[in-house]
Amino acid sequence: MANPSEQETLVPSSDSVSFLRHRPNSAATASSKTSLTSDQNSATDCGEDSGVDRSFDAGMRNRGEAEEEMKAAAEDGVECREGVARDEGKGAGVALPASFLYRASAPAHWKVRESPLSSDEIFKQSHAGLFNLCIVVLIAVNGRLMIENLMKYGLLIRAGFWFSSRSMRDWPLLMCCLSLPAFPFGAFAVEKLAQHKFITEPLVIFLHVLLTTAAIIYPVFVILKFDSAVLSGFTLMFLASIVWLKLVSYAHTNYDIRTLSKTINKDDMCSSSIDLDNLKSVSLKSLVYFMVAPTLCYQPSYPRTTCIRKGWVIRQLIKCLLFTGLMGFMIEQYINPIVKNSQHPLKGNLLNAIERVLKLSVPTLYVWLCMFYCFFHLWLNILAELLRFGDREFYKDWWNAKTVEEYWRMWNMPVHKWVIRHIYSPCIRNGISKGFAVLISFFVSAVFHELCVAVPCHIFKFWAFIGIMFQIPLVILTKYLQNKFRNTMLNYLKPGQVGNMIFWIFFSILGQPMCVLLYYHDVMNRKARTD
């Protein structure tokens, strides 16, 4: 061939045909495609950048068989056999001798093709391989850090953190803990009185307010008075908060049932389909069940399962123990040293602080995930199984949350349901705007987070409170970004990926380690002051 010009694009096919009529149909497609390519380019957009690409795509779409054939060839690594074999099959009735197979003269390049990374198809392919790479690299990096940690510190298990000498001095907290059940009985008494109309509605409400307030103030008082250890203090506050939430739900629901029954008594058009004793029933049994059941929303009865799967319960218990142990190990081995070697994140060198936070973020994340699995999956399921409690939806798949709002809605269903039922809905009902209702909900949540953390630590710097209230701007931000990126979609991101990533960054990388460091250092400073 004299000049490497346009018609050359046709040559390989004619070559391959002429040589040994090699791969006739693919050669045909190739030639037709290449010529197509050349036409399009020379005609429309030669010199323009995306020109060839586009025409390539045009080709790619309708080159099924050639592709398949190529793949098939690649399978057993023989480029040219396929074509010839096919020739043998249906090629002009000519039986080629075996020596014609595997010719070196068979062209290795017979059509215009793009590199995988140039074509847009790359974004449509699965990238399972890259996911695996991420996992493998994570394993490698974490494994290495574990070895480094082991060589640096050895094994660091001391019981002290879990059973300090102080926690012996915490019997008042235990007493307080044991006395908490008094409040539900009080609430029950109030309800009974209300039911038999011995006391007026306003008095009922007043008494309930009194009870609930006492139920949360009393433990706080005890903890602060007896200057308890952090862990036992936290446990007590945690239980007290649960009792508080349950009592509020109990009072609110019963109040609503009473009012409802009244209204129904009034308008007869409804009363047909109502059995009133169902509304009347304020049984001690149902209260007791509610107090122990893994839910915060009272209702006279719950969907139940029919039997307790003992083997299953035992398995879950074993898992629960194992993961709790793992959690403790991670805290002792990885989190403690990092935290000890850190300075206060808001004072001193910024770079250093960032380094500490990032280093801390990984173990805290793992501990958090363990904690979630142990408590929300294993423990609540065990409890539910033992009580034959039917509705096991204690969480949704929050790890796929597209916005921070979704996360708060999915990760802790008992509290979420409680908030919706006893804060958000009443707000809406009384004509408060959605946004403000959300604000109130987050405020309450923030107050309780602060109580549960600050009181046991004997520190009131409102880190937890701020942390929760900070979620509101985050909600708005992620929602905004979410919508923004849904419209102007990045090629390689499915919708919701951006929001999800932002959620993970704030949740695991910044949020938790920051809290840990802030509280740790304040607790330590306080210790230093008191001792």
The span from the CA of 96 to the CA of 87, in Å, is 8
**Any contact of residue 443 with a copy of itself (CB under 8 A)?**
no
Residue 523 identity: V
Q: Which is nearer to a copy of itself, 177 or 410 (CB)?
A: 410
The interface mask with a copy of itself, positions 154-183, x = CB under 8 A, is ------------------------------
Touching a copy of itself, residues 413-432 (CB under 8 A): 416-418, 420-422, 424-426, 428-429
Q: CB of 516 within 8 A of CB of 364?
A: yes
Q: Which is nearer to a copy of itself, 115 or 165 (CB)?
A: 115
The span from the CA of 37 to the CA of 25, in Å, is 18
**Any contact of residue 521 with a copy of itself (CB under 8 A)?**
no
Residues catalogued as catalytic: 449
**Any contact of residue 358 with a copy of itself (CB under 8 A)?**
yes
**Any contact of residue 151 with a copy of itself (CB under 8 A)?**
yes
> Which position among 182, 193, 509, 523 is part of the footprint of a copy of itself (CB under 8 A)?
509
Strand partners, 389: 304
Stretch near a copy of itself under the rule CB under 8 A, chosen from 156-164, 196-204, 212-220, 397-405: 397-405
**Any contact of residue 15 with a copy of itself (CB under 8 A)?**
yes
> Which position among 54, 166, 344, 396 is part of the footprint of a copy of itself (CB under 8 A)?
396
Touching a copy of itself, residues 44-103 (CB under 8 A): 46-49, 51-52, 74, 76-81, 92, 94, 99, 101-103
Touching a copy of itself, residues 459-488 (CB under 8 A): none
Q: Determine the Cα angle at 199 with ends 193 and 201, to 5°.
A: 105
Contact residues for 409 (Cβ-Cβ < 8 A; gap 6+): 396, 416
Touching a copy of itself, residues 95-124 (CB under 8 A): 99, 101-118, 122
**Any contact of residue 25 with a copy of itself (CB under 8 A)?**
no
The span from the CA of 158 to the CA of 333, in Å, is 10
Smallest gap from Cβ 202 to a copy of itself, in A, equals 18
Smallest gap from Cβ 430 to a copy of itself, in A, equals 9
The span from the CA of 82 to the CA of 276, in Å, is 82
> Which position among 253, 344, 379, 415 is part of the footprint of a copy of itself (CB under 8 A)?
253
The span from the CA of 311 to the CA of 385, in Å, is 11
**Any contact of residue 401 with a copy of itself (CB under 8 A)?**
yes
Query: Phi/psi zone of residue 154: left (φ > 0), alpha (ψ -120 to 50 degrees), beta?
Result: left
Touching a copy of itself, residues 187-246 (CB under 8 A): none
**Is the four-CA dihedral 221, 226, 231, 232 of positive or negative sign?**
negative
The span from the CA of 280 to the CA of 297, in Å, is 18
> Which position among 352, 433, 483, 525 is part of the footprint of a copy of itself (CB under 8 A)?
352
**b/e burial code for range 70-102 (CB count within 10 A of at least 16 → b):** beebeeeebbbbbbbebbeeebeeeeeeeebee
Touching a copy of itself, residues 318-337 (CB under 8 A): none
Stretch near a copy of itself under the rule CB under 8 A, chosen from 5-13, 190-198, 205-213, 220-228: 5-13
CA distances in angstroms from 515 to 242, 288, 399, 460, 465, listed in the order given: 22, 36, 21, 13, 11
